[in-house]
């Protein structure tokens, strides 16, 4: 198969990029290559109200609404003191947010790109990509090879451009989520609940099908000290949480660890590649902005790719790179302010590092 653009990864970033490309530049052929069949649970349950204009822009808002994802009108947080505070979206001009069935949401976006003419390849993990005379040769684990003029990396945490394009990571912290699924027949409010503790924070969110996800978020070195991979230690810690511990009972699965520290690529685009979504920059899940950011960067990436391939103008790629960088710096400032809102454990490494006055400047220069 030969295409103009190969987009690897059909999460929100990859699908948004494919949809936007097909809508704006229908002369460009697009392959959207996805390792999974959207048949396993995915992280990220709350879609912020800010996603609405992006879904409208992509022409999928009506389909999204019809899918019946539960509306959510705010979050609840025990942050700064022990009592829970509600943060309502009631004053949000864009209306409510949503509690997503993530796998269904991702599948809907990917299928929409196919209706617009993108070639959607599911169950097709990319194992290798190498430059050729006129672009890229992309090998799939199932033995197929795809030739493409341009490569877009939307593989989330996998961030395959690090391997194939030599892009370097700027790492800010080593936050890890240790999460577990629970049965939940309480019909509890679908609000996401966040609860700070001495070494990090817990969060829980209701899922479709009377299930619930509960996760402890802390730094990888603290997690080792707390033995969070051990189900008994994890459960004992959960039971000490005044709010989350009272909601979550009947665990029904193993503990799933997932890296979710703040990081960005030193450069998010080159002359024949671009990275979008978490592959380009990753925000702390506390922000609840990951999916919205992924959609936005997928759309912006499509503009830069379109200009490059149709007119040879690479200024869009440079603008895109600057945008990802400045968005991340802005995010780091907000992150610091939010973490400084919690002052109960100033001596603990988890909190002191995030609240440090120097953090925005010094962290943005750490490269690994
Ligand atoms: C615990 C946790 C809770 C979160 N909660 C929220 C929340 O409430 N709200 C929110 O907005 N965000 C949340 N996030 C963040 C959110 O999940 C991500 O920001 C978002 O999913 C990023 O979208 P993406 O398209 O960049 O990547 P992803 O959604 O990760 O999609 C990447 C895709 O690439 C595919 N892929 C990977 N490697 C390959 C390969 N080699 N070949 C082909 N395909 C490949 C994967 O199968 C996947 O479909 C949370 C994250 C975590 C860890």
Domains along the sequence of the chain with CATH: 2-50+101-171+266-326 (3.50.50.60), 175-259 (3.30.9.100)
Write the pLDDT tens digit of every residue in 200-213: 999 998 887 788 88
Angle between helices 290-311 and 12-24 (to 10 degrees): 40
Say whether pLDDT at 368 is over 60.
Answer: no
Residue 183 predicted with pLDDT over 90? no
- pLDDT value, residue 191: 78
Is residue 248 over pLDDT 50?
yes
Ligand 1 centroid – CA 205 distance (Å): 17
pLDDT band at 91 (very low <50, low <70, confident <90, very high): low
Ligand 1 binding pocket includes 177 (Cβ within 6 Å): yes
Atom 26, ligand 1: residue with shortest CA distance: 277
Q: Which atom of ligand 1 is nearest to the CA of 280?
A: 26
pLDDT score of 207:
82
Task: Kindly state if the Cβ of 154 falls inside 6 Å of ligand 1.
Answer: yes
The structure tokens 């649970």 sit at: 41
Atom of ligand 1 nearest to the CA of 192: 8
CA nearest ligand 1 atom 5, residue: 44
CA dist 8 → 32, 85, 320, 328 (Å): 6, 40, 18, 23
- For range 286-302, the mean pLDDT: 96
- pLDDT tens column, 119-162: 999 999 999 999 999 999 999 999 999 999 999 999 999 999 88
- Give me the pLDDT at residue 90, please: 59
pTM, to two decimals? 0.94
Is any ligand 1 atom within 6 A of the Cβ of residue 129? no
Classified as helix, coil or strand, 79 is coil
**Ligand 1 near 23 CB (within 6 A):** no
For ligand 1, pick from 55, 268, 285, 295 the residue to mutate: most ligand atoms within 8 Å of CB: 285
The rounded distance, in Å, linking the Cα atoms of 167 and 159 is 9
Assign 77 a pLDDT band (cuts: 50, 70, 90). very high
**What is the β-pairing status of strands 273-275 and 30-33?**
unpaired
pLDDT at position 189, please?
Answer: 65
Q: Average of pLDDT values for 41-55?
A: 88
Q: Decide: helix, strand or coil at residue 166.
A: coil
Atom of ligand 1 at shortest range from CA of 292: 11
Whole-number pLDDT of residue 45: 80
Residue with tokens 């069949």, as numbered in its chain: 37
Rounded mean pLDDT of 75-85?
91
Average pLDDT of the chain to the nearest whole number: 91
- What pLDDT band is residue 362 in, cutting at 50, 70 and 90? very low
Structure tokens at 56: 């409208």
Is 289 near ligand 1, meaning CB less than 6 Å away? yes
CA 257 – ligand 1 centroid, Å: 14
What 3-state class would DSSP assign to 15?
helix
Q: How far is CA 301 from CA 33, 137, 229, in A?
A: 16, 21, 37
What gap in Å lies between CA 316 and CA 303, rounded to an integer?
7
The pLDDT assigned to 215 comes to 95
Percent of the chain residues past pLDDT 90, beyond the cut: 75
- Rounded distance from Cα 156 to ligand 1 centre (Å): 5
**What is the rounded CA–CA span in Å between residue 249 and residue 278?**
31
Which of 6, 7, 8, 9 to mutate to test ligand 1, by most ligand atoms within 8 A of the CB atom? 9
Is 157 within 8 Å of 185 (Cβ atoms)?
A: no
Residue 155, ligand 1, Cβ within 6 A: yes
**Which residue bears the tokens 């002369």?**
27
**How confident is residue 367, by pLDDT bands cut at 50, 70 and 90?**
very low
């Amino acid at each position: 198969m030969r295409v103009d653009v190969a987009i690897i990864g059909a999460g929100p970033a990859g699908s948004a990029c494919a949809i936007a490309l097909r809508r704006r530049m229908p002369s460009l052929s697009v392959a959207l290559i996805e390792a999974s069949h959207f048949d396993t649970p995915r992280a990220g349950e709350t879609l912020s109200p800010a996603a609405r204009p992006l879904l409208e822009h992509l022409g999928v808002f009506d389909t999204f609404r019809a899918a019946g994802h539960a509306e959510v009108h705010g979050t609840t947080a025990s942050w700064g003191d022990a009592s829970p505070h509600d943060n309502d979206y009631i004053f949000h001009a864009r209306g409510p947010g949503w509690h997503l069935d993530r796998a269904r949401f991702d599948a809907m976006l990917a299928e929409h790109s196919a209706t617009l003419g993108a070639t959607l390849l599911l169950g097709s993990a990319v194992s290798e990509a190498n430059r050729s005379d006129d672009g890229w040769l992309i090998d799939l684990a199932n033995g197929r090879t795809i030739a493409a003029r341009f490569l877009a990396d939307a593989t989330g945490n996998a961030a395959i451009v690090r391997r194939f394009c030599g892009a370097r990571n700027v790492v800010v912290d080593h936050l890890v989520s240790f999460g577990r699924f629970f049965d939940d027949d309480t019909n509890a409010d679908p609000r996401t609940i966040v609860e700070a503790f001495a070494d990090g924070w817990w969060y829980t969110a209701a899922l479709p099908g009377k299930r619930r996800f509960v996760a402890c978020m802390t730094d990888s070195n603290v997690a080792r000290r707390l033995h969070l991979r051990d189900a008994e230690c994890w459960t004992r810690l959960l039971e000490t949480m005044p709010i989350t511990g009272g909601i979550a009972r009947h665990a029904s699965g193993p503990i799933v660890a997932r890296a979710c520290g703040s990081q960005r690529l030193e450069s998010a685009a080159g002359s024949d590649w671009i990275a979008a979504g978490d592959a380009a920059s990753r925000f702390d899940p506390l922000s609840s902005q990951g999916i919205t950011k992924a959609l936005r960067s997928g759309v912006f990436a499509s503009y830069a790719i379109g200009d490059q391939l149709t007119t040879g103008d690479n200024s869009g790629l440079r603008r895109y790179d600057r945008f990802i960088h400045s968005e991340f710096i802005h995010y780091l400032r907000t992150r610091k302010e939010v973490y400084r809102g919690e002052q109960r454990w100033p001596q603990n490494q988890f909190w002191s590092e995030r609240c440090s006055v120097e953090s925005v400047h010094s962290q943005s220069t750490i490269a690994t």
